């Protein structure tokens, strides 16, 4: 999976992440002081450069494909997301490292971005499955993933370290290529209600 053109719909543009996005991402993270959410990976002030560099290294190694999220009506960078844990056979990837400025949380933007990423994954990249992982204490994220039509697979206990060093349980979800037709129909219905 290599860097590509932006992914775009009526609500969002997913721009391939570059260092040019750092300041706008710093601004987005400051809206709500997102680094204070101990169950997320949003960098502290001044840490966005390292955060972006790490994502770009992952891209160079073929393990990630990161994006900056631009909300179309305002033209503002609202957050970031990426494909990660990319596996070539069977072709699959996870979608995550997703965060939005506080003003865009629980808005149309998550549905719009996930629809873009899922459509690209299944229709262009030929993935057989897309995974989602979130902290067991990130209940908002779990509900958002379920609203996409993803199926809960289970929980990996003491799976990863949080930024503060504590161990987290990871809740896993997935959508299979064979489920994409119905999930796509559901997401298009949700997005049509926003226009």
Q: Answer whether residue 11 is part of any domain.
A: yes
The number of angstroms, rounded, from the C-alpha of 109 to the middle of its chain's C-alpha atoms is 11
Average pLDDT of 181-195? 90
The pLDDT of residue 2: 56
**Is there a domain that residue 1 lies in?**
no
Residue 98 resides in a domain:
yes
- 22-55 pLDDT tens trace: 999 999 999 878 777 666 778 888 899 999 999 9
For residue 2, tell me if it sits in a domain. no
**pLDDT value of residue 167:** 94
| Helix (H) or strand (E) segment spanning residue 147 | helix 139-147
The range of the structural domain enclosing residue 44 comes to 7-192
95 belongs to a structural domain: yes
* pLDDT tens per residue across span 79-132: 999 999 999 999 999 999 999 999 998 888 999 999 999 999 999 999 999 999
CATH number reported for the structural domain that contains residue 68 in this entry: 3.40.630.30
Q: What is the pTM of this model?
A: 0.93
Task: Name the E strands within the chain.
Answer: 7-8, 12-16, 64-71, 77-88, 91-100, 129-135, 151-161, 167-176
For residues 169-179, give the mean pLDDT.
Answer: 97
Summary mean pLDDT of the chain = 92
Query: Which pLDDT value is given to residue 123?
Result: 97
In-domain check, residue 45:
yes
Q: Does 195 have pLDDT greater than 90?
A: no
Q: Is residue 174 part of a domain?
A: yes
Distance CA 172, CA 153 (A): 5
Structural tokens at position 95? 């979608």
Q: Which two tokens stand for residue 129?
A: 């499955």
Q: How many domains does the chain have?
A: 1
């Amino acid at each position: 999976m290599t860097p590509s053109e932006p992914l775009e719909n009526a609500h969002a543009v997913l721009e391939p992440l570059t260092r040019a996005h750092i300041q706008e991402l710093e601004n987005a993270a400051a809206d709500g002081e997102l680094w204070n959410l101990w169950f997320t990976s949003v960098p502290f002030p001044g840490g966005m450069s390292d955060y972006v560099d790490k994502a770009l290294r992952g891209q160079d190694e073929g393990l990630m494909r990161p994006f900056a999220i631009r909300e179309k009506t305002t033209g503002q960078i609202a957050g970031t997301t990426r494909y990660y844990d990319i596996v070539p056979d069977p072709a699959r990837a996870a979608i995550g490292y997703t965060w939005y400025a506080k003003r865009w949380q629980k808005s149309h933007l998550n549905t719009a971005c996930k629809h873009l990423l899922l459509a690209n994954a299944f229709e262009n990249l030929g993935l057989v499955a897309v995974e989602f992982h979130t902290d067991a204490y990130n209940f908002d994220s779990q509900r958002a993933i379920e609203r996409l039509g993803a199926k809960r697979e289970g929980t990996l206990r003491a799976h990863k370290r949080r930024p503060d060093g504590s161990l987290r349980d990871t809740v896993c979800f997935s959508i299979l290529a064979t489920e994409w037709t119905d999930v796509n129909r559901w997401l298009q219905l949700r997005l049509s209600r926003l226009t």
